[in-house]
Amino acid sequence: MNLTVNGGAYDVDAPDDETLVVTLRERLELTGTKLVCGRGECGACTVLISEEGEPRHAVYSCLTLTVACEGQAITTIEGLADGDELHVVQRAFIEHDALQCGFCTPGQILAAVALIADAEHLTEDDVARGMSGNLCRCGTYPKIVRAILAAASDGT
Amino acid sequence: MARSPNGSDTTTAARRFVSTKVEIEGREETKIVELPAFEPEPWGEEVSLDIVGSRVHRMDALEKVTGRARYTADVRRPGMLFASILRSAVAHGRVTRLDLAPALALPGVRGAVGREHVDGIRVDGVQLFDQAIHYVGQPLVAIVADTQAIADHARRAIAIEVETVPHAVTAEQALAADAPRVRPHGNTTRQSPRVIKRGDVDAGLRDADVTVTREYRTPVALHTALETHGAVAEWVGERVTVWESTQGIFNTRSDLSDALEIPASNVRVIKEYMGGGFGAKNGASHATYVAVVAAKRLGRPVHCMADREGEQLDTGNRPATIQRVTLGAKRDGTLTAIRVEATIALGIGGWMAGPGKIYHEVYRCPNVHTSETFAYTNAGAMSSFRAPGHVEGAFGLECAMDALARALDMDPLALRQRNYADVDQGKDRPYSGKHLDECYAQGAERFGWDAARDRAAQTGTLRRGRGVATQIWGAGGGPPAYASVRLNSDGSVEVLTGSQDLGTGSRTIFAQIAAQALGARVEEVRTLLGDTGTLPYTGNSWGSMTTASVGPAVRLAAEEARGHLVEAAAEMLGAAPDDLETQDSMVFVRDHPNTSMTFADICEKLGDVMIMGHGSRGPNPENTAIAAFGAQFAEVEVDTETGQVRVLRIVSAHDSGRIVNPTLAESQLEGGIIQGIGYALFEQRAMDERLGVPLNPTMHDYKIPTMSDVPTIEAFCVESSDVVANHTGAKGLAEPPIIPTAPAIANAVADALGVEVSEIPLTPWRVLAAIAQAR
């Protein structure tokens, strides 16, 4: 099957029961996408996905079958920046120290990108609700909220 | 500002090696250490520094926000195989049949590692792959295959039969008269009960005008790091390289060297990035041994990470405690006695991190008696978990202090200030520095502790309350620790030290210290760490020790490098070395700033001649207690109809000496507080006591805080620099913030309801039960 990831086309031979996180990590060696719980509980495997011409939305790649992604464009953390030009959310995460160990960070950033794209005016409560599917054990949440609010206002 | 090491007398020490005491995770060890060649001018409070103390961005942030940071789970080696561990589903018994044939017959399966391959390798006192079963989650055998999916599939194909015997999964079950035997020598540690006492507690209680007695219970809490325990191992001949998600590369090396009976020099352990540790990753784990043994047997690199269920069942926990506490005090609040009887459920093994120690440390009290019984149970072994023992003990001590305050009709903060301890009473010695009084004062001020209560905010079934709690933690660090600092031919600087950055910011902290001591621009400094094969020794990143242990060694290495650099520049500038200063990666003549050279110019001119300095961590001061202190204030809202507790805000004031990077410090403090909120409100390993099976080894059912659970947090450190502790003035602060959070919240709940809830987590049903009981 054909898979479009970060703008590149890949011909992958994934069995029907293979999840997208496994395809990304093991076949394409895009290990920025993290596998933590494997059952949609923590958000670390979040990636962006879109139908041709449609806006990107966030999915848990551990609950997404690869075979269901044919014809869709997938963005992983490795493909978020424009070359060396970081995405505004990546810059905000650095600026506000919105990461510690960094293992949840790719998922947090991609979930934040989708959240910002979907919302008109984000409040702190919107961010807390919108991001509650992404767990961080280091407890970086206060700084993530600040980073997302800053990125949202930068982007508008 | 610091004098040149070359100008100082390097022979002041009559002895080159001295014995010194080092405190690690609350335990004290004696070590013989080398005295550094020179002692630099301490960075006391009066010394103003521009790089140390500044909000430099985390240096590995770019790698982390782009997905380029490669964690152990991400390591891929040519020809690598994947392992999957079969674990016991029952708590106690033995394997009667283990047939691997159905698994080994599957395509892509390359082999297995079983009991016969790991003789003598023990984890937490239990033989790896023991066919006698001691707890749910115990590894029984591992399958190795071309992919993780095949290995996991094959693991499920193994035919296994077990015989069960009665189990004991709680301390009560293990200590019952007819309890099944958990460990061969009995169900308690040999040292149980561990009694620590000073003065005469019975006399102290007789002298008391008021006494309170309470029983507190704390749960089994799970670290739940996002990256599980695990390793990738690759052998070349008799040498093995191990990529490990660990807080201690050198400890992992010695564990492997001991277990495999091979020289430590044949083991190289690498940890570049890790997805959380929190105390559970201090050496080789089951997965490490599986990877290393399988890789040797199969002649190919092997990747073995615990799966999430294995991580939650079998990689350590904060043990459950029961603490019976009696406090005695005079009418004015002066403590006369503290008595504690505690029971700790260790699981199948682990060390004795008990709640007792903190009762001896926080308050001035002449008569203290703690007795701790450590029970073995048929459950996963405990391990250190962020301030082990103190978190559990602080809950009992600080809730009991509030019960005493209510009995005395005294302000809880005033009661704490009344019993302020000026010295370390356990050993009758001074503190190197203690600014807890300022933490109380500044925290209370920012919180508005003395302000009138806003009763108007209490409507309907909602009740608001406020609470305070104190913490102490021996965060002084100590030797041995070594670092090198080198300048490259372009004038850039590298710090080399075999330490670990857990997400704590060590890379950045070390670079700041080196830049400060060297007079370099911090952007020009990089830290290389996490490799036993190429970098000098430091200890584990545990016990809030890294900054205070490694920081002084980094500073000395940078000072020495600065000395060499200045001498080279003196030769080039035709000036005396003593007249030269360094700043912003420039060397210039004092009072003649135009006579200068950049580090890059000097290094370019030197060509391949290398500027390099080495530093070591000297001993801690004799007969001096070193600790970090803090106070936290919590405001909560409790719904008396649903029992739901919501934390509205936390103000957290800490004394950890000089703060190297306030932003990173805040991140650490906020993170500790948020873990403390989880411990107070949600987190507990639920156990089916009849079946002996943990019920929630997932991230959905084991509830860690989400973003929605986080209150307003105001966390800060009071101005201080503890140069009695070490010449950088810095102490640790990773563990301190989690210690007082749960009791501050529980005290606020009691304040809101007028009813004490003496067991955490403060779940809605516990809160409702306490309200009902009080009616």
Q: What is the pLDDT of residues A58-83, one digit of tens each?
A: 999 999 999 999 989 999 999 999 99
For the stretch B166-199, what's the b/e string if a residue is b when 16 or more beta carbons lie within 10 angstroms of its beta carbon?
Answer: ebbbbbebbbeeebeebbeeebbbeebbbebebb
B447-461, B557-571, B641-655, B735-749: which range is least confident on average? B447-461
Mutate to test the interface with B, among A138, A145, A148, A149 (most CBs of B within 10 A): A138
Q: How far is CA B613 from the centre of its chain?
A: 30
Please indicate whether, in this complex, the C-beta atoms of B699 and A22 are within 8 angstroms of each other: no
CATH fit for domain A88-155, picks 1.20.1260.10, 1.10.150.120, 1.10.287.70, 1.10.10.10: 1.10.150.120
Cα Dmax for chain B = 87
For residue A97, give the nearest of B63, B664, B672 by CB distance.
B664
Q: Give mean pLDDT, residues B664-680.
A: 98
Interval B648-660 mean pLDDT: 98
Q: Does A134 touch chain B (CB under 8 A)?
A: yes
Of the partner residues A35, A109, A142, the one whose CB lies closest to the CB of residue B710: A142
Residue B30 confidence (pLDDT): 85
Q: Long-range contacts for B423-427 (Cβ within 8 Å, ≥24 apart)?
A: B423/B625, B424/B361, B424/B625, B424/B627, B425/B198, B425/B360, B425/B361, B425/B364, B425/B365, B425/B366, B425/B368, B426/B196, B426/B198, B426/B360, B426/B361, B427/B623, B427/B625
The 3-state secondary structure of B549-585 reads HHHHHHHHHHHHHHHHHHHHHHHHHCCCHHHEEEECC
H-helix or E-strand spanning residue B207:
helix B201-207
Which residues, in sequence order, are CB contacts of B401 under 8 Å at separation 6+? Answer: B327, B363, B412, B415, B416
Calculate mean pLDDT across residues B62-88: 98
B76 contacts on A by Cβ (under 8 Å)? 29, 31
Contacts of B663 in chain A (CB under 8 A): 97
pLDDT at site A139: 98
Architecture of domain A2-79: Roll (3.10)
Taking contacts as CB-CB distances below 8 angstroms, the residues of chain A near B281 are: none
Share of chain B above pLDDT 70, in %: 97
How is chain B split into domains, by residue range?
5-59+477-616, 422-476+621-775
Distance from CA of A22 to the nearest CA of B (A): 9
pLDDT at residue B452 in the model: 77
- Does the structure show a pLDDT above 90 at B485? yes
Give the residue from B684, B704, B705, B699 showing the smallest Cα distance to B762. Answer: B684
| Nearest neighbour of B674 by CB, restricted to A29, A129, A139 | A139
**Model confidence band, residue B685 (pLDDT cutoffs 50, 70, 90):** very high
**At residue A101, does pLDDT exceed 50?**
yes
Nearest-CB residue to B713 (from A81, A134, A142): A142
pLDDT single digits (tens) B588-598: 999 998 999 99
**Segment B281-288 mean pLDDT:** 97
Residues of B in contact with A132 (CB under 8 A): 706-708
Per-window interface: B 204-223 vs A, CB < 8 A: 223
Q: What angle do CA B335, B338, B343 make, to 5 degrees?
A: 155
d(CA B510, CA A151): 29
Give the number of residues written for chain A: 156
Q: Cβ-count burial of B281 within 10 angstroms (0-12 exposed, 13-18 middle, 19+ buried)?
A: buried
Rounded CA-CA distance B562/A121 in Å is 52
Q: How far is B213 from chain A (nearest CA, A)?
A: 35
Closest in A22, A80, A141 to B707, CB measured: A141
- On whether any CB of chain B is under 8 Å from the CB of A13, the answer is no
- State the pLDDT confidence band at B457, using cuts at 50, 70 and 90: low
B225 contact A CB<8A: yes
User: Running DSSP on this structure, what letter comes out for residue B727?
Assistant: T
Cβ neighbours for B361, distance < 8 A, ≥ 6 positions apart = B421, B424, B425, B426, B472, B627
Confirm or reject contact between A124 and chain B (CB < 8 A): no
* Residue spans per domain, chain A: 2-79, 88-155
- Residues contacting residue B363 through CB under 8 Å, at least 6 positions apart: B335, B338, B401, B416, B419, B420, B421
Please provide the DSSP assignment of B448-507 as one string.
TTTSPP-GGG--TTEEEEEEEEEEEE-----S-BEEEEEE-TTS-EEEE-S---SSS-HH
Task: Judge if B5-59+477-616 and B422-476+621-775 fold alike in CATH terms.
Answer: yes
In this structure, are residues B145 and B81 in contact, taking their beta carbons and an 8 Å threshold?
yes
Spell out which residues of chain A touch residue B275, defining contact as CB-CB under 8 Å.
Answer: 34, 36, 101-104
Please judge whether B707 and A44 are an interchain contact, meaning their C-beta atoms are less than 8 angstroms apart.
no
CATH topology of domain B422-476+621-775: Aldehyde Oxidoreductase; domain 4 (3.30.365)
CA distance A137 to chain B (A): 6
B744-764 per-position pLDDT tens digit: 999 999 999 999 999 999 999
Q: Helix, strand, or coil here: B512?
A: helix
Q: What is the pLDDT of residue B352?
A: 83
CA–CA separation, B379 and B485 (whole Å):
46
Among A77, A99, A135, the residue with its CB nearest the CB of B704 is A135
Confidence of residue B194 (pLDDT cuts 50, 70, 90): very high
pLDDT in tens, B692-735: 999 999 999 999 999 999 999 999 999 999 999 999 999 999 99
pLDDT in tens, A4-61: 999 999 999 999 999 999 999 999 999 999 999 999 999 999 999 998 778 899 999 9
Give the residue from chain B lying closest to A125, CA to CA: B708
pLDDT band at B14 (very low <50, low <70, confident <90, very high): low
Query: Average per-residue pLDDT in chain B?
Result: 95
Any A CB within 8 A of B315 CB: no
Fold topology of B5-59+477-616: Aldehyde Oxidoreductase; domain 4 (3.30.365)
The span from the CA of B143 to the CA of B152, in Å, is 8
Element of type H or E holding A145: helix A141-155
Closest CA to A108 of A42, A155, A63, A56: A42
Q: Closest approach of chain A CAs to the CA of B276, in angstroms?
A: 6
In chain A, what residues touch B60 (CB-CB under 8 Å)? 102
Tell me the chain B residues in contact with residue A129 when contact means C-beta distances shorter than 8 Å.
Answer: 708
Select the residue from B148, B271, B706, B707 to test the A interface by mutation, using most A Cβ atoms within 10 A: B707
Q: Does the pLDDT value for residue B572 go beyond 80? A: yes
Digit-coded pLDDT (tens) for B240-272: 999 999 999 999 999 999 999 999 999 999 999
Q: Nearest 5 degrees, angle CA B325-CA B328-CA B333?
A: 125
| pLDDT for B7 beyond 80 | no
Q: Does B152 touch chain A (CB under 8 A)?
A: no
Q: Which two tokens stand for residue B354?
A: 């008990």
CB contact under 8 Å between B671 and A139, yes or no, is yes
Q: Which of B341, B735, B756, B759 is catalytic?
A: B735
Q: Please, what is the angle between helix A141-155 and helix A88-95, to 10°?
A: 140
Pairwise CA distance, residues B5 & A139, whole Å: 41
Residues forming a β-bridge with B82: B145, B303
Has residue B133 got a pLDDT over 90? yes
Tell me if residue B392 is catalytic. no
Chain A residues with CB inside 8 Å of B670's CB? 139-143
The reported pLDDT for the residue numbered B26 is: 63
Q: How confident is the model at residue B29 (pLDDT cuts 50, 70, 90)?
A: confident
pLDDT confidence band for B456 (50 / 70 / 90): low
Q: Give pLDDT, residue B458.
A: 75
CB pairs under 8 A between A and B: 169
Contact B67 A31 (CB under 8 A): yes
The confidence score (pLDDT) of residue B139 equals: 98
The answer to whether the CB of B656 falls within 8 A of the CB of B732 is yes
